Amino acid sequence: MNETETLKKQILKKIEETLSLDELENIRISTLGKKGSLTEMMKTLGQLPQEERKLIGQSLNSIKIEISEAIETKKKFLEEKELETKVAAESIDISLPIRPLQQGRIHPVSQVMEEMLTIFAQMGFELAEGPDIEDDFHCFEALNFPKDHPARQMQATFFMKNGDNLILRTHTSPVQIRIMEEKQPPIKIVAPGRVYRCDYDMTHTPMFHQIEGLVIDKETNMGHLKGVLMNFMRVFFEVDNVPIRFRPSFFPFTEPSAEVDIGCSRENGEFKIESGKGWMEILGCGMVHPNVIKNCGLDPNEYQGFAFGFGLDRFAMLKYGIPDLRSFFDADTRWIKHYGFLPLDIPSITSGLSLNGGQKR
């Protein structure tokens, strides 16, 4: 009896004292293993008289259970401790930079074009396109530019070498002609694209972008033109009140014609829409000239509508405070990364036109 009690105490003490899992395992083997001390003692039970055997057997069994539990508890404790030590040794410098992340950009011209199309789509305008190389008919003649009239000199034209009367389009207005030739009214389109003028300085580049709008049906009038443009400005510049001024002007392909100014200020490169600080001319528009409608094979007594056109690059410069037009076409990656937009910054009406893509890295 005493013998077993002593053994139990010894073993439990060992378990308590041990600091390693290996040693604990040795203790388990040397006590509960096939040749362990307790196992050996169990083996001797058979030689004892029945009464005694029962008593001693019971006590040995309970010792065995007690020791097993002690080992399990200690094992859990030691395992946890070991993991703690291991993890503690594994700390790293979390200030080191992340692996290179390639983040591309969308050019401001494309971004602003998408912003504009998003707005015009709300008003039901479809997207139309036309070629960069144009003939005289589509670029001038059909648009009611008389031959040799000073109005043709308003736009310095690039001429092609090997083509009769072929030019680079000086404006997106030829798309008006192509659409009216192709489609029966009602017509409601916008047409963005590259345009070319023989001009190069701080504010002029030989290539830039315009967007053209055209509506032809039986009743659209100048009031609609005004409504569309006022709405457009408000949404595009993301300002509730845009001061807008319509002034009479002249374009061969519209009559009546208008130029539109917005009220704004420009201080230290910052552009702000506000009234009372001066006007800036931003676009030309008007009711499509009856001669133009006729030149496209439609009856001007039956059909009417409006057209407008403006510089995409210029609107990008104004809205996003980009200083130099020439830098738009230089493909300087520093510039594109700075002024460009994130791939996920997709303009939408539900979430707003700009900055839905988060911050650039």
Residues 188-247 that bind other proteins (CB under 8 A): 194, 196, 198-200, 206-207, 215, 219-224, 226-228, 230-231, 245-247
Interactions with other proteins, residue window 73-102 (CB under 8 A): 96-97, 99-100, 102
Burial class (CB in 10 A: 0-12, 13-18, 19+), 186: middle
Contact 143, 177 (CB under 8 A): yes
Nearest distance from C-beta of residue 233 to other proteins, angstroms: 11
Among candidate residues 180, 188, 147, the one with its CA nearest the CA of residue 300: 180
Q: 13 or 338, CB closer to other proteins?
A: 338
Cβ proximity to other proteins, 13 vs 326, nearer residue: 326
Check residue 287 for interaction with other proteins (CB under 8 A). yes
Pick between residue 14 and residue 107 the one whose CB is nearest to other proteins.
Answer: 107
By beta-carbon proximity to other proteins, the closer residue of 198 and 355 is 198
Closest among 263, 299, 260 to 283, alpha carbons compared = 260
Q: What's the closest the beta carbon of residue 180 comes to other proteins, in angstroms?
A: 16
> Do residues 215 and 288 lie in contact, with contact meaning Cβ atoms separated by under 8 Å?
no
- Cβ of residue 120: shortest distance to other proteins, in angstroms? 7
Length of the chain: 361
Stretches 8-16, 36-44, 131-139, 268-276: which one binds other proteins (CB under 8 A)?
Answer: 131-139
Q: How many residues bind other proteins (CB under 8 A)?
A: 92
| 133 belongs to the binding site for other proteins (CB under 8 A) | yes
Which residues, listed in sequence order, are joined to residue 245 by a DSSP beta bridge? 261
Cross-strand bridge partners of residue 285 = 258, 308
165 binds other proteins (CB under 8 A): no
Question: How far apart are CB 106 and other proteins at their closest, in Å?
Answer: 5
The binder of other proteins chosen from 12, 42, 280, 346 (CB under 8 A): 346
Give yes or no for residue 311 binding other proteins (CB under 8 A).
Answer: no
Query: In whole angstroms, what is the distance from residue 121 CA to residue 128 CA?
Result: 12
Burial 283-303 (b: 16+ CB within 10 A, else e): bbbbbbbbebbebbebeeeeb
Angstrom distance (rounded) from CA 204 to CA 199 = 6
Is the separation of the CB atoms in 109 and 328 below 8 Å? yes
Nearer to other proteins, 55 or 127 (CB): 127
**Can residue 271 be called a binding residue for other proteins (CB under 8 A)?**
no
Residue listed under structure tokens 């702000």: 272
- Among 171, 289, 314, 319, the residue binding other proteins under the rule CB under 8 A is 289
Closest CA to 143 of 288, 292, 254, 251: 292
Tokens of 199: 């001009």
Question: Scanning residues 98 to 127, which ones bind other proteins (CB under 8 A)?
Answer: 99-100, 102-107, 109-110, 114, 117, 120-121, 123-127
Of the two residues 34 and 161, which places its CB atom closer to other proteins in the complex? 161
Burial of 323 (0-12, 13-18, 19+ CB in 10 A): exposed
Nearer to other proteins, 67 or 292 (CB): 292
Sign of CA dihedral 77, 83, 87, 89: positive
Contact indicator for 217, 236 with CB cutoff of 8 Å: no
Q: How far apart are CB 232 and other proteins at their closest, in Å?
A: 10
Per CB under 8 A, does 158 bind other proteins?
A: yes
Q: Which of 344, 349, 351, 352 binds other proteins (CB under 8 A)?
A: 344
Residue 189, phi then psi, degrees to nearest 5: -135, 160
**Residue 148 sits in the site that holds other proteins (CB under 8 A):** yes
Contact assessment for residue 15 and residue 28, using Cβ atoms and an 8 Å cutoff? no
Query: Which residue, 8 or 208, is less far from other proteins as judged by CB?
Result: 208
Work out whether 41 is an interface residue with other proteins (CB under 8 A): no
Does the footprint of other proteins cover residue 342 (CB under 8 A)? yes
Minimum distance, C-beta of residue 276 to other proteins, in the bound complex (Å): 14
